[in-house]
């Protein structure tokens, strides 16, 4: 099982570009298709991994590894996620001066950008469907995104406001 965990997360680490959120569809497909976790539990892991500081993909790998095999499962999944990126960046650093101004490298990265955006948007839509996000609650998310993007409000203030709003809503809902 440890070998399978390590190679699964190494595979995810090697073949995803764009950070943790771009890894999300691949992580989701691998762990749910293998029956390691249900879609609902994956959404809970996703929320927990987002709420902690650090690298999102490593956080979710640690949670999943711990759920499946305890401490060593966490360690194996974290290493599987971290090592591919580490070695790829090491190779790039060794040859960076040779490719720094290469037009082909610039074109490759410009071509990757839309794909990375899609890799981030698709899991967000899937998560919204899974948790049963209504149009009323989607307005909150869209408003928050627009406030961050267009107005320049710090995401910290949005998170605090959402936490306070959720607390007030929850306390009022309990009373009735």
Reply yes or no on whether the pLDDT at 39 is more than 90: no
pLDDT at position 30 is 85
Residues, the chain = 176
pLDDT at position 122 is 80
- 57-99 pLDDT, tens digit per residue, is 888 889 989 988 999 999 999 999 889 888 888 887 887 766 6
For 39-62, b/e burial (b = at least 16 CB within 10 A) is eeebbebbeebeeeeebbbbbbbb
> How far apart are the C-alpha atoms of 133 and 111, rounded to whole Å?
32
When mean pLDDT is compared over 36-45, 67-76, 104-113, the highest value belongs to 67-76
Band of the pLDDT at 113, cuts 50, 70, 90?
confident
């Amino acid at each position: 099982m440890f070998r399978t965990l390590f190679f699964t997360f190494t595979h995810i680490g090697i073949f995803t570009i764009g950070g943790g959120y771009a890894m999300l569809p691949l992580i989701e497909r691998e762990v749910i298709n293998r029956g390691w976790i249900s879609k609902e539990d994956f959404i809970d892991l996703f929320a927990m991994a987002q709420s902690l500081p650090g690298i999102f993909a490593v956080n979710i790998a640690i949670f999943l590894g711990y759920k499946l095999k305890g401490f060593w499962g966490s360690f194996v999944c974290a290493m599987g996620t971290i090592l591919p990126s580490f070695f790829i960046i090491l190779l790039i650093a060794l040859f960076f001066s040779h490719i720094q101004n290469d037009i082909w490298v610039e074109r490759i990265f410009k071509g990757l950008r839309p794909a990375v955006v899609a890799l981030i948007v698709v899991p967000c839509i899937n998560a919204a469907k899974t948790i049963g996000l209504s149009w009323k609650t989607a307005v909150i998310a869209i408003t928050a995104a627009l406030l961050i993007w267009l107005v320049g409000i710090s995401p910290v203030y949005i998170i605090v406001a959402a936490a306070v709003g959720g607390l007030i809503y929850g306390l009022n809902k309990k009373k009735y």
